[in-house]
Amino acid sequence: MMYLLAILLGPLDAARGGQWRNLDAQLMTAVYGLAVALILTRDPLGITILTLAFVIGEATGWGCPLGWALSGRDDGCLKEWWQFGALRTRPWLSLAVRGVLWGGIPAALWLPAILAVAMVAAPALVRVSIGWRDAKHLWGAQEWVRGWLVGAMLIVVAA
């Protein structure tokens, strides 16, 4: 079951990001968090905490560094509340910090590192695979890749 959940994190990440307009992004975020929680624990309290942490974490603005990293240019997006100092000028560093902040929940000490790696690796892999040129599908593609990366890393640490 853990492997199926890990595979489902790709399309769930895309659904959470709004790739399919007929699916509610908040609901998909909760389902994503539930899938992560079920990979990591069978404890009902742990499952509840992880799922709620994902829903709460998604309520914060996260998009600016991702679009910037995918496009390779600062398109004038409003910087997020947590982007100050070097984070305002370095999108890849911002993505790593974004992952750490997203993973900064009390369930597991290694989760921030996993999400930091996934936040940087997913857009980088998508950009490298298309030769660092613009493409309309960059955002959605990196969400699938990011979900699969998180799933693969969670399987490794949960095993």
Q: 14-69, pLDDT tens digit by residue?
A: 898 777 888 888 888 889 989 988 998 889 998 998 888 777 766 666 667 777 78
Query: What is the rounded average pLDDT of the residues 1-15?
Result: 92
CB 51 within 8 A of CB 37: yes
Rounded alpha-carbon distances, angstroms, from residue 70 to 45, 57, 63: 37, 22, 11
Q: What angle do CA 147, 142, 154 make, to 5 degrees?
A: 20
Q: Which of 2-11, 14-23, 64-73, 119-128 has the highest mean pLDDT?
A: 2-11
How is residue 20 written in tokens?
Answer: 């399919």
pLDDT digits (tens, 9 = 90+) for 67-85: 778 777 777 777 777 788 8
pLDDT band for 159, please (50, 70, 90 cuts).
confident
pLDDT of residue 60: 62
**N-to-C CA span, the chain:** 13
pLDDT band for 105, please (50, 70, 90 cuts).
low
pLDDT of residue 99: 75
pLDDT of residue 4: 95
Query: Does the pLDDT value for residue 9 go beyond 90?
Result: yes
Query: Higher-confidence residue: 49 or 104?
Result: 49
How is residue 59 written in tokens?
Answer: 């309520």
pLDDT of residue 61: 60
